[in-house]
Structure 1
Amino acid sequence: MLEIVISADRASVERLRAKNWRIHYLFGQTNLRLKGPNTTAERREAPQASTSGLAPKRPKGKINLQHSKAASSALCWRTSRRHVDIGLIQEPWINGGQVRGLPNKVYQTIYCDKSVSPRALIILRRGLTCLPLTEFLTRDLAAALVEVRTESIKRQLVIASGYFPGDAISPPPEEVQRLIEWCRMEKKQLIMGCDANAHHKVWGSTDINHRGEDLLDFLFSSNIEIVNVGNSPTFMNAIRREVIDLTLATPFIAGMVKNWRVSEEPSMSDHMTIEFNVEATASADVECRIPRKTD
């Protein structure tokens, strides 16, 4: 890994941070260290795109790309190397009014193409059988119905990527609430990767805010489980480390999620990549955070 150290006065360092600079090195990952007169801070940035997959024993995940070209490049490299089936992505790179930088030759993309700057997107490996749920395609939500083979039968599973705006009164957004209600009415299983922009100690945050309380109340009342394991930060910058990215699921599919983890690989974004497997033939219970069973 290449590391670049820049020594500068404090004012110059803060100006660079304010510009949210990222460096992309063609042959690998690059860390930028901004060294001021009294402090040294290492920028490790990770896309918050979600990658989640459905084939047994194949890594899946989620990540927020923060509209970054470098984060998109890192995602392409990771999906190719790890043979990811599905990616649940927030804040993709937008250039010229178009979503850019995704591995379109290998993956199909699902998002609201009527939105000028979509903040939720799904990528699926070509060959997977899927149907976009057009009524749930908005700027901050992407959803699709995919076909999953479990042992000798086929099941339909709803996958979704969501961005919960931090300036909204309380999460989740109305369209997410409608999607969860639709899944309940249609008896569909759901798994969603989201940037919740909400804090609660139930999912590993360092504190609790009103958005976290409202979101937890909604998940409890809707019988939605939090699949996150542990308290490894999903968001990191020079001044803060926090858990704000969640994997949510209906109880049945939550029991099929295996090997959930926050990747330590550089993501070139402030959000880390979350990886997990959905093992469609699994029947054993897994450790997860269930709001209704948490004090």
Structure 2
Amino acid sequence: MTNYKNVLFENNGEIVHLTINRPDKLNALNIDTIAEIKTAFEEIYDDSTIKGVIVKGAGEKAFVAGADISEIAELTEVNARKFAEAGQEVFASIENCHKPVIALVNGFALGGGCELAMACHMRVATATARFGQPEVNLGVIPGYGGTQRLTQLVGKAKSFELCMTGDMIKADEALQLGLVNHVMESIEAAQAKSEEILGKIMAKAPVAIGLVIDCINAVNNEQENGYQTEANGFAACTKTSDFEEGTTAFLERRKAAFKGE
């Protein structure tokens, strides 16, 4: 197991709780933290016993309040591009993970924090959560995929408004816009809801779940024919023992016991 400094990696059986652990900095994402998130997801990819992930922030004030401004202030055009591309690569690995990833958002999810939450497959927020892309207040724009994923989730007009004004929105508005899946009254309730969703997903065929992720991500990939990706995935499922188990269990009127094979 890797020794982490800025994240907590807790494997509770089949679910990993990945906590951004810089509460004194409102869990701001610095270069080292991004690197640790990358390493954590490499472990998640490689460990077949892990079935789902909950990403959250330490403390009660923030999920992730943004990037580390002291690092951003030192960027030049050359290393800023590399900085953005490195973060985009890590967040793409979250988005493309074949295991369900839920962001549990409490408090501020701003800038890189909002981008991290959007890279996850689903978002469960507390009533105190606040979302925003305030980078224009610093004279820059989102760099970790914020303009792209926010537009995909809330639509072009609202994405223009949020990215150009830098405004924050509350959890209830985020729910109405489709930015979050559920809003719960407390961290404990959000935790329970996240685990409930993962429990339902983990009872399904793992190969099929991974292919669902591929197909839905293909919707916004201009280089990929999403319909063909779906047809290919559908065909691939029929080669698995889980397909045989699922159809047989249905016909026999019993619960399927999937093995991920």
Fold equivalence (TM over 0.5): no
More strand by share: 1
TM-score by length of 1: 0.26
TM-score by length of 2: 0.29
More helix by share: 2
